[in-house]
Amino acid sequence: MDSAATVVGDGLVIDSVGFGNTVVLRSGSAALLINAVAPGLAARLRAAGVERVERVLFTSHRRDLADGLAEVLSEWSPGLVVPASERDLFEDPGAYWSAASSRWRLLCGHVPSHITHVRPLAVAQGVAEGDVITWHDWRIRVLATPGHTDGAVSYLVHRGEAPPVAVTGDLIWGPGQVRDLHSLQRSVTRNGHRLGDYHGFMGAMDAVLASLERVLAEGPSRLLPAHGLPIDRPVEAVALLRGRFLAAYHNYVSISALRWYFPKHFAEEPVDRRTLPQQETHPLPGNVLRLHGTTWALRADDGHALLIDPYCDEALAKAAGALADGRVAAYDAIWITHYHYDHLDRAAAARERFGIPILVDEGMAEVVSHPERFFLTCLSPLAATVDGPTRDGQTWRWRNYRLTAYHFPGQSLYHGGLLAVPDRGPRLFFAGDAVTPCGIDDYCAWNRNWLGRGVGYDHCLHLLRDLAPDLIFNQHVEFGFRFSEDAYELMLDVLREREPLLRALVPWPHADFGTDIAWAHAYPYEQPCRPGDAVEVALRVRNHAGHPAEAHAEVVLSDGWSAPVTALSAPCAPGRESSLVFVLAVPPTAEGRVVVPIRVTFGEHALGACCEAILRVEATAPAADGNP
């Protein structure tokens, strides 16, 4: 079709743009497409002699597979064929985008659904396992191949007596590689114990491998992924992926905090010299109170206390009960360890009830005070005023303590740590959900756990080792604990080994592109506006690579919407976040929630419309930002 086209066989062509692939079946001047990946597709088809597109098949509902669809529909009006179990995400995406469960307090249960369509598409046919599509002299058989999404399918394409070619969607990117790991965050059951989506790092690994084995059983001559490289040696490519998956997973489990929470799940996981032994635990000292769940208190000698992570009404009642029974004389402030809803859902209510300020690490202050500007897992819609954003290393005197706040990007990038050193007694460190006696809490890629020297857990573990607290507290663990020097060395070594293991699994110059779901994201994610307003929407891009790269962004506007500039490019320095800012004109007739997709290209990778911003168009003056 052009310089990026690859001829696979007589009448079968791959249209490739930035590693995105549309498979084109030809019969004379007619064509059938599998995925419609890149803008400009209709023009390329016309230039190649295609006079009509009769059908477009999709391997999954992800909208980045359909960036070239609008122009194809406008030119030829083909029938759309989609996975039956994901049909509603094509025909009625509004139901997804309007649901609070798709936006707030997410435990990643919507991972398979989030990057979905924003406008309804008319579907001609839903297909499932075993269905056969006959088109001219082509025969296309449907295989259910869950993994990248729960309802994804692959298509076995036959013509004549030649072996089939398998069109596999995003099951595999290339030999031994998948497009990313954060899309594999999924529930998984082992040894009779089920981990939910939130705890299921690489949870879809087994499903991906099982789906690929089903494809291999059909004896395809080639695998054609939706993104990535045509694979000429399918068996070798899948075997390499299996080996890399298992090596990375064993590395992850060896220092995983989940072995503390769910030991049954990991009972059959091999234990070797790289597996962290459970560290020593100790009862809570008298000056540390676990009031209810993740809500704790640090008490001073005079009975005054810091209230830590007020998260529910019962926790507030228990905090009030501690005042009533004399265990606490008064609360002086609230310290929030991190932004997850099960640690701060009642922070604003606690601030009002006890008349005390809220203190948080400055790196997460905006997430707490303006949550609607972000799309994150476990995000509460309940904004809380931050009275004291703390700087990394900021120290102050409180009662009989020296307190020091730290940026502590452990379980989440948006996370703080608090060192409390009393005049007499053990040195205490409140670590939120960052560590347990069995290791580190990095089991959800949506939390933005970065790898590398001086960031993420490498930063946190070095800090803990240098501070040498006598007791570390995790708000979900009923004991205090501490790590030995050997434990610190082991965890740091395992993290250093992890980086190349994960890097080998993804086609990126750094592993964090594959695990950080928000390395490219819209900001603000959601904002109120009125008809006629001009609003700013930015694409923020974090370059995890060690070399410069260029980012390109394009907003996809609905009818009636406009912008002075709809496409922007910017250089991205290594280890930095760049911002590409668009100004959108809100039409006078606009109303309701409007989802604005953003197409992203980074270096040689065209990611398609993988990001979106939400504009909440209100006829009257919008509510204060952060209070949806």
Rounded distance between C-alpha atoms, residue 417 and residue 63, angstroms: 39
Tell me the CATH number at 587: 2.60.40.10
Whether residues 579 and 489 fall in one domain: no
**Which tokens in the block code for residue 188?**
């998984």
Q: Mean pLDDT, 10 residues at a time, over the chain (628 residues)?
A: 65 92 96 96 96 98 97 97 97 95 88 86 98 97 96 96 95 97 94 95 96 98 96 98 97 97 93 94 98 98 98 98 98 98 98 98 98 97 98 98 97 98 97 98 95 97 98 97 98 98 98 97 98 97 97 96 97 97 96 96 96 93 50
DSSP H helical segments within 286-436, as ranges?
313-324, 341-344, 347-354, 365-369
Q: H/E element holding 499?
A: helix 485-505
d(CA 21, CA 68): 11
If residue 416 lies in a helix (H) or strand (E), which one and from where to where?
strand 416-422
Sequence letter at residue 249: Y
- Of the three residues 226, 244, 262, the one that is the final residue of a domain is 244
367 and 218, same structural domain? no
Do both 481 and 339 map to the same domain? Answer: yes
Shared domain check, 385 and 523: no
Cα angle 308-310-316, degrees, rounded to a multiple of 5: 120
DSSP of 49-104: T--EEEEEE-SS--GGG-TTHHHHHHHH-PEEEEEGGGHHHHH-HHHHHH-GGGTS
Parent domain of 544: 519-617
For residue 626, the model assigns a pLDDT of 46
Q: Give the domain-ending residue among 244, 270, 305.
A: 244
Task: Return the SS3 of 209.
Answer: helix
204, part of any domain:
yes
Number of domains in the chain: 3
Helix (H) or strand (E) holding 418: strand 416-422
User: For residue 168, which phi and psi values (nearest 5 degrees)?
Assistant: -110, 10
Considering the domain boundaries, does residue 338 fall inside one? yes
Amino acid type, 95: A
Place of tokens 């509510």: 623
Residues 6+ apart with CB under 8 A from 59: 34, 35, 65, 83, 152, 153, 154, 155, 167, 168, 169, 170, 226
Residues 225 and 340 reside in one and the same domain: no
Whole-model pTM?
0.95
d(CA 278, CA 126): 50
> Within this chain, do residues 138 and 59 fall inside the same structural domain, yes or no?
yes
Tell whether 623 is covered by a domain. Answer: no
Task: Say which amino acid occupies 344.
Answer: L
- d(CA 16, CA 229) in angstroms, rounded, equals 9
CATH number of the domain bearing residue 108? 3.60.15.10
- Does residue 252 belong to any structural domain of this protein? no
H-helix or E-strand spanning residue 358: strand 358-361
Residue 514 lies in a domain: no
In a domain, 626, yes or no: no
CA dihedral 416, 422, 428, 430 (to 10 degrees): -30
